[in-house]
Amino acid sequence: MTNGDNAARPKLPFLAVVALISCTLIRPSSGFVDVSGSNHAEEPNNDEHPSLPSASSQATEDEYDDDFFPPIADSDDISYFFSTYDLDGLHWALSNIFALSPRNPQNNVNKSIRRELSPKLVSRGGGDNYTTEYKLLHDLEQARYLARVLKESKPSVADYFQSTVIPIYEEVLKNIPPLEDLSRTKGLYAFTKADYESGIGNVYNKALYIESADEINPTWHTQNGGSLLNNQLDFEGIQNNWFGHGQNSPTTSTTSIPGALVVDNLLSTSALQTIRQLLLRNTHWYQTKTPLEFGKYVGSYVDDGLHDPLFLQLAKQLHESMPRIMKGHELKYMWAYKYDSEWESGIRLHADQAAVNVNLWVSLDGADLEVEGFGGGLVVFTAKPPANWDFESYNTNTEFVIDHLLRPTNFANLTIAHKPNRAVIFDSALFHQTDRYRFKKGYENGRINLTLLFGEMKMGDGDDGNAGRARVGQEL
């Protein structure tokens, strides 16, 4: 953007233009939009497979061409819809983009509307022609879980996972070399001809099963007075804690860092259970990290499948409940991560491009082994990136950050132990990292966090980036 008159006119997001000219398109309440106008997927049939598009709510190919929707939504698109709380519009946009993508198994049948994956999705680990051993093991465990829990309610879907998906994953896993033999690719494994002959291209990183919150809990809109949040929370006190004045709220843990606080029991009991099921059941975990570089965790993103209306409603209710903290900060992004229980370290030192970070743990009660020295939570430091740094500088030059930003503060930090339904709300520019963890083995026992980002990052002043004060090593 240049100076002058143009600088005063914000760019209208592309999806905003799409929304303005697309009044004839149906805004679905959940699931895929059937952009193909087709209903002829192979087993399992659509009646019992909610991830496959249904002809009952469709925007057909004739209503727009292949370029009508962008290949991926960006943060400006998300913020545009959220700024007026147009959650239906945001869900409409995200679900249509997703339905057009290679994630939709229906597009394997109707290739005339198939798009290539966005390069952005591929570059962050969401490609469909490579994997890692831990990612494929996660997918195998999830397939086994679905085959078991859906056996009575959706037998043909359960049989599809048992007879088709699981054997493919098991066969391809045999072909992946040991991690030490993949040092050149930092742990990534490219699928081979033999893998494709086994059928991996038909199942890997596909939305094989998508179940909406409405299906899991049809009354989630009205339970707890319509609130997903714990109605016993004192949000006025929480906001006072954020700004560093007033008495600590009885619903927050003590913190001495303005701009960082902990809220226990953030969600209502029913909302927590529904979110857990969404994250355990839905096959929208497409991102893998290079394990020799970043560790072992899989990711799901709002612009790539994590767009159930419940998640969008949660963002709205958080935004409304903390108006002083959220003032001027629209929803920008959202993700969820699942961590490999065989590993002990999660996300390394970094800062996120947002003003407010809401990090919520939704792991099962009792899954955390609570071993001494393995808090399993989050370490939030009091230092910010300097104003003259770019994203790559402060998220890749770790040694420089440690030596020049953290060490001068004597590594002042707030260390928050993991606890189910505990949220850490903090200035997203503060450097932070996952604390070491140890969780029980088993698919349902993994460490899971849901993160919502609001607003634009506010970096530190000057060249040192130091911000905030804390007692060194304070632990909650």
| DSSP β-ladder status, 413-416 and 252-253 | unpaired
Q: Which of the residue ranges 10-14, 40-44, 221-225 would you say has the lowest mean pLDDT? A: 40-44
- Specify the DSSP element, H or E, that contains 301: strand 297-301
Q: What is the mean pLDDT of residues 2-24?
A: 44
Per-residue pLDDT of 304-357, as tens digits, reads 999 999 999 999 999 999 999 999 999 999 999 998 766 555 667 667 778 999
Among 229, 234, 231, residue whose Cα is nearest residue 248: 234
Instruction: Report how far residue 119's alpha carbon sits from residue 107's, in angstroms, rounded to the nearest whole number.
Output: 19
Per-residue pLDDT band for 436 (boundaries 50, 70, 90) equals confident
Q: What is the mean pLDDT of residues 442-452?
A: 91
pLDDT recorded at residue 68: 75
pLDDT recorded at residue 250: 54
- Residue 351: how many CB atoms within 10 A of its CB? 25
Q: Which residue has the tokens 């612009």?
A: 303
- Specify the DSSP element, H or E, that contains 432: strand 432-434
Query: pTM of the entire structure?
Result: 0.84
For residues 296 and 289, the answer to whether their CB atoms sit within 8 Å is yes
Per-residue pLDDT of 42-62, as tens digits, reads 333 444 444 433 323 334 444
